[in-house]
Structure 1
C-alpha cells in the first residue's frame, strides 16, 4: 500500500470507530479481515496513525476546524507528525486509493491555525468533564501534563533477575536500540518514532526464555517501592495477568510465599504460563470460586499486601488513547467504591508491622491521595510510610527520581511529563503494633 492509501485506510477505520461506537482494536481487526491484501507493515502503519489521531482527537479537530475523521487525520499529520501543508497535500492528491485533494479551507487551516486560544481540554486532548479533576491534580500545568499523556509511549521492558542480568539483556537487544531506563535498575527502553512499528520483542530469544517482560518503567517502580523481600509472605491482591506478580517474585528471589489472586478469574488466565516462563516457583495462584473468598485463611499474617487497584486508567492514555474518549463520569464513581472495598479487604490481611502498598495507574486525586486519606480516616492502626523512604530501592537514583516525581504526604505520583513513565500513584502504608 502507498502512504496515501494507508491514509485513506486510517480515515476509514476512524469513521468506523465513530459511527459504530466500537473500540479501536476491534475496528482495526475488522478492517484487516476485510482487506487481507494489506501486509503487516501496512497494518502497523495504519494502526499507528489511528492511535495517534485518538491521542490528539480534540486538538487535531480544533486545528482543522473539522471534527470528521478526515479533519482529525489531517490535523494529526501536522501536530503529531509535523508534516508541512505541501507534504500533506501530496498525500491527498485524489488519485486511486488516495484521499481527496485538500480543500481551500483545509489548506488555509493548515497554513494559519494554531492551538492558541484553545480551551485547556482541547489543547490537552481530554474529555471536557475531566477538566476540573485534572485542574485539581495539576493546576495550570494540566495542559502540559495532558499533552505528555497524549504522546506515544516507548516500549519498556523489565529484566527478570531470576533468569538474567540487565547487562546481558542489553547486549542481546542492542540491535533494537534498547537502552537502560533512567530510574528503574531493571528497566530497558526501546524508543519508537511516530510512525515506527513495534519491534517483535516476543520473538527474541531473551524474551522466549523469560529473561525480559514487557512492563512500563512506572509499573516496575511501583513494584520496587512495595519493598517485597525474600522470605516474606506477599499477597498480590489484584494480580490480573500477573505483571507485578512477576516483578514481586524476582524481588523475593524464589524465597518466601507469594500468592496472586484477583476477583475476576478471567483476568488471571495468562498468569500461569507467564510464571512458568519466568522461572517462578514460589507463587500460588488463587482464583475465586463462586462466592467463597480464596484468601479467607489470610488474616493479619501477610508481610506485604499489594493492591494494584481497579481505576480509571488515566495514567495509561499514551497506550490506550481510545479509552479516554469512552470514559464517563459514572466510571470514576464506580472505581472509587471498588478501591475503598479492596483497601478495606487488604487491611485485614496485613500483620502488625506489615505493609500495604496501594497502587493505581491513575493521575486523578480522587483515586489517589483522597482515597488514602479516606482509608486512614476509617481504619485505625495504619500510617503512611514517608515517600522518600519508599524510594530507597532506587539507591543513587532516588534523588533524581524525587526531583522528577510529584510527592505528597500520602504518596508519590509519576506522570509521562515528570518521570517519562505512564501515570502511576504509589502509597505504602505500615500497620502499627
Structure 2
C-alpha cells in the first residue's frame, strides 16, 4: 500500500505529464495556424517545419539548455533518475521543454514562405540551447542574483507565472529580428508603396489552429503551478476571461475579420500568462481586451506602414502582447485593484525590458551570423515555386497537381 507522500508524488507526476501533453498539443495548433495563414504552396513546409523544430529543440534543451536554465542534467543511471518523487524531475523537463520549443514555433510564423529549412533548424538549436534558457534561468531559475536584486530594491521579484515574457515576448522579439534579416516575401510590396495582398489559404485550418492553441493553453497556464498542492482555479478563470476579452475586442475593432477574431483570443491568452495567478478576473478581462486591440492595430501598422512582412503577425501577437502582459502584472496585480499583491511595477518594467533586450540581441546575432555565413533565405526560383515543392518535393494537394498536369 502506498504511503500518502508516495500518492502525492505520483499525483504530481501525472498532473505535470498531463500539462506537458496539453502544451505539446499546442504545437499542432501552431502548425495549423501557420498552414491556414500562408499560401497553398507553403502549407507542407509549415507542418514539417514545426515538427522538425520540436525535435531539434528537444535535443538542444536536453543536452544544453536545461542545464543552463536550472543546472540539471540527466547523465546518470536510471536508478538515480527514478529514486526520488517517482521521476518528477524528468516529467518537469518534458513540461518545460514544451515551453522552450514554443519559441521556434512562434518564430516560424513570422519567417514563413521564404526561409531556408536547415539554417532555421540550426537557429532553433542555438536559440533553445543558449538564448532562451539564459533568460529562463534568470527568471525561473533565480540565476545571477537578479531576482534578489529586484526584491531588495523594489520590494518584489519580476513575476512571470506562465511565460508572457519568458516564452512569448522572447519568441516575438527574436522573430522580429529574423523577419528583418530575411526581408519581405517577393511581390509583397511594390516600388510605389502599394501592399499586394497575400490572403490566407485556408480560414478553417487557421481557425482549427487557434482552437487547438486555446485548449492547450489551459495546460500552459494552470499547470505552470507544476504541483497539485499549488494549483489555483483562479488561473483557469483568468485565462478564460482574458481569452474572451481578447477575442471580443478583436471582433469589434477588427470588424469581424476571422483572422483577427481567432488571433485576438490568442493575444488575450499571451497577455494573461504572466499574471494569471495574481490578478482579479475583471483585471484579466481588461488585460485580454487591450491585448486584442493591440494586435489588430499593430498587425495592420506593421504590415502596411512599416512594411515588415511578419506573415502571422507574431511580433504584435507574442512580442508586444507578451510585453503588455509582463507590465500589466505590475498594475493589476496590486491589492487596490483586487490583485493578490506582492508585485512591483518597476520590477515588471525592468524584467520585461531585459527579456526584450536579450531576445533582440540574441535573434539579431544568430540570424545575422547565419545570413552571412550560409544564407537563410530561399533563392528567387525556389521561393517562386514555393517552399513545399522546392524543399519537400510535394505539395499539400498532389492529386490536384496531377489533374492539372494531365
With the length of structure 2 as denominator, give the TM-score of the two structures: 0.25
Rg larger in structure:
1
Which structure has more strand as a fraction of its residues? 1
Greater relative contact order (CA < 8 Å, ≥ 6 in sequence): 2
Which structure has more helix as a fraction of its residues? 2
